[in-house]
Structure 1
Amino acid sequence: MKKFMNRAETLVAESLAGFVAAHERLVTFGADRRFVRRRSLCPGKVALISGGGAGHEPMHVGFVGKGMLDAACTGHVFTSPTPDQIVAAIREMDRGAGCLLVVKNYDGDVMNFAMAAELAAQHRIATVIVRDDVNPGGSKRSQDRRGVAGTLVVEKLLGAAAEAGWRLEELSALGEDLNGRIRTMGVALGGVTVPDTERETFVLSEDEMEMGVGIHGEPGRARVTFATADEIVEAMLGAILSDLAPDRGDNLLLFINGLGGTPVSELYLAYNSVRARLQSLGATVARSLVGTYVTSLDMAGLSITVARLKERELSLWDAPVDTAALRWKG
């Protein structure tokens, strides 16, 4: 295994140190370096806190900043942050309006964030559990739908709403509502090598691919024959649309996400194919995002996310955001 690292056990800490140093205008470490937070805090604003295992970068630390997250807690590779990390973030980030925890639906994340909320019960806390995966069977790591690339959409919309002064109850209600209107499906051309184990999570032959993968290097829901890009997109989009069931007049956000080892040129090729297919069905692609944002280490693969957004949510998407990974003036 060849990776740019010193030791597997220090990889995450050293990476976070580099991230904070590179983006010191935007972020800093929280107490005892347990989490990464916005450098400038906002009294009277609901604090958005998220997190998960390392290996998904730039999510979540890359989304800390104005218009998105206030803090992100990072665990070891593909391992949930500990409750004490999350409690520390809650205590430091609550500036009087409470905290909203945005949690991907993986068992470890759900359990540790819930435990942290109990330990910090003196604070006003609400939790949104993101479930955007098309696969209702989940995986060995989760019950029901997993939280995958659609988490970015949820965090952006809730972050903009919090910046605009929405109350904790309003943000929680929006997050739950979004769960039924965002769907994601991933595909992989190979597994990943986890630094701690030095083992590849799964191995495919030259003519195979995994459909329905998550973001922890796990296999998908089906191993199928490799095909052309248009054929792959057709299968993925078919699963998404049969689940999401958009109406002809809906405004859609189309997000093509790289899983860590896919060239940008291939992501745009996939976007072109998906958009053409949606337009042929009479759908309106109102907003787009293409890039590598929610990864599974160096997995060669991509995911397609489609979200049905209301007019106010399009405005929240367009609202200014200033983070290391996502930035626009609105």
Structure 2
Amino acid sequence: MKKIINKPENYTDDMLHGIYQAHPDMVKYVEDDLRCYCTAQKKEGKVAIITGGGTGHLPLFLGYVGENMLDGCGVGSVFQSPSAEQIYNISKEVESGAGILFLYGNYTGDIMNFDMASEMLEMDDIQTRSIVGADDVLSNKNPDARRGVAGIFFMYKCAGAKAAQMGTLDEVLAAAQKAKDNTRTVGFALTPCIIPELGHSNFTLGDNEMAFGMGIHGEPGVWNGPVKTSRELAEESMKEILGDMSVASGEEVCVLINGLGATSQEELYILTGDVEDILKEKGIKVYRTFVGEYATSMEMAGASISICKVADEEMKQWIDMPVHTPFYTQV
């Protein structure tokens, strides 16, 4: 294992220490717990949005805490959930009178701990709502059981914008739901990644082998086989996405091409061109394109493709709203 680290068991806390050192004007921690990550610029009267999840996916999850996006993030160890106590402590810090939306990925440990935190907050008469990202088309035929991956970015954008517009808690939840209903993702891996505490790969692939549908924690995909071309991957991914979500000719979508940690920008733009050519052939208009690392898996090589159907003009306003965080800025 070759990584720029100190002790493997300190990986998450050392990383957080560096973030707080670099961005003290934007983020802070509470209760003397580095993993209780939240904005340093609380806005009174605004719905607070809190996410959470394991380390290893930057900029997901904590990277979207900032102006016009999220207000806090519970940080777990690599690929592990934050605790209910951490989520509760963050909530108490960022809540400003309008309630809290919990918005996170559809994983068992996260659901359990966010639900526990919600019960604790109810005893403090703090109102909460919850919604999970579940955009990974190939992870389950049942939409309610799907994993939340890079497409959760659009939920963050829409909910964050509505909260910044001083929407009510139910209105912010509805904005997140609109993005969720209109977003689908397919991903594929070319290499495994190494979890520092383990010191070895979390799965294996042959030299000329890839995994299609692989999850961001190394969950098995739908097939392992020879590496395909960018065009072939784009075609198979779009077949799965558009087969699951109806997008008619003339409708508009946003495209998110996400690198999993070790994929070059050049490769991501090759994939972008192929995806948008396919959409153009089908008469589907691209409203906005996002290319880069939005939800990684340590140093895994691979990518994911997310399509978010733009439902109406209000959704365009949410997607276009400027944001600024230590990890992501949109002007």
Same fold (TM > 0.5)? yes
Could you tell me how far 1:135 is from its partner in structure 2?
2.1
Structure 1 residues 129 and 26: CA distance shift in structure 2, 3 A: same
> Is the deviation greater in 218-227 or in 79-88?
218-227
Displacement of 1:31? 2.5
The answer (yes or no) to whether the contact 2:139–2:215 under 8 Å persists in 1 is no
Residue range with higher mean Cα deviation, 180-189 or 202-211: 202-211
Contact 2:258 2:305 in 1 (8 A): yes
Aligned 8 A contact 1:138 1:146 in 2: no
Amino acid paired to 2:8: A
| Map of 1:28 onto structure 2 | 28
Deviations along 1:30-81, one digit per CA (max 9) or x if unpaired, are 2323411111110100000001000011112211111101111110000000
- Contact 1:31 1:88 (8 Å CA) reproduced: yes
Q: Tell me, what secondary structure is at the counterpart of 2:137?
A: coil
2:259–2:293 CA contact under 8 A, matched in 1: yes
**Aligned residue number for residue 18 of structure 1:** 18
Instruction: State the Cα distance separating 1:136 from its structure 2 match.
Output: 5.0
* Residue 138 of structure 1: how far off its partner (Å): 7.6
Q: Identity, % of aligned pairs?
A: 37
Q: Is the 8 A contact 1:188 1:299 kept in 2?
A: yes
TM-aligned CA distance change 1:295 to 1:136, over 3 Å: closer
Q: TM-score, normalised by structure 2?
A: 0.95
Residue 209 in structure 1 maps to residue 210 in structure 2 = yes
Moved more, 209-218 or 48-57: 209-218
Confirm whether residue 137 of structure 1 aligns to residue 140 of structure 2.
yes
Letter of the 2:204 partner, please give it: V
Distance in 2, Cα, partners of 1:281 & 1:292: 27
1:277 Cα offset (Å):
0.9
Distance 2:294 2:64 in 1: 9
Instruction: Output the amino acid matched with 1:28.
Output: K
CA distance in 2, matches of 1:41, 1:127: 20
Who is 2:129 aligned against?
126
Partner amino acid, structure 1, of 2:322: P
Matches of 1:175 and 1:316, distance apart in 2: 10
Which aligned pairs between 1:96-245 and structure 2 lie closer than 5 A? Answer: 96-121=97-122, 122-135=125-138, 137=140, 144-245=145-246
Aligned partners of 1:145 and 1:325: how far apart in 2? 26
Structure 1 segment 266-281 matched on structure 2, within 5 A: 266-281=267-282
- Give 3-state SS (helix, strand or coil) of 2:98's partner: coil
For residue 325 of structure 1, report the CA deviation from its aligned partner.
Answer: 2.0
Moved over 3 A (4+): none
> Is contact 1:187-1:212 (8 Å) kept?
yes
State how many pairs are aligned.
327
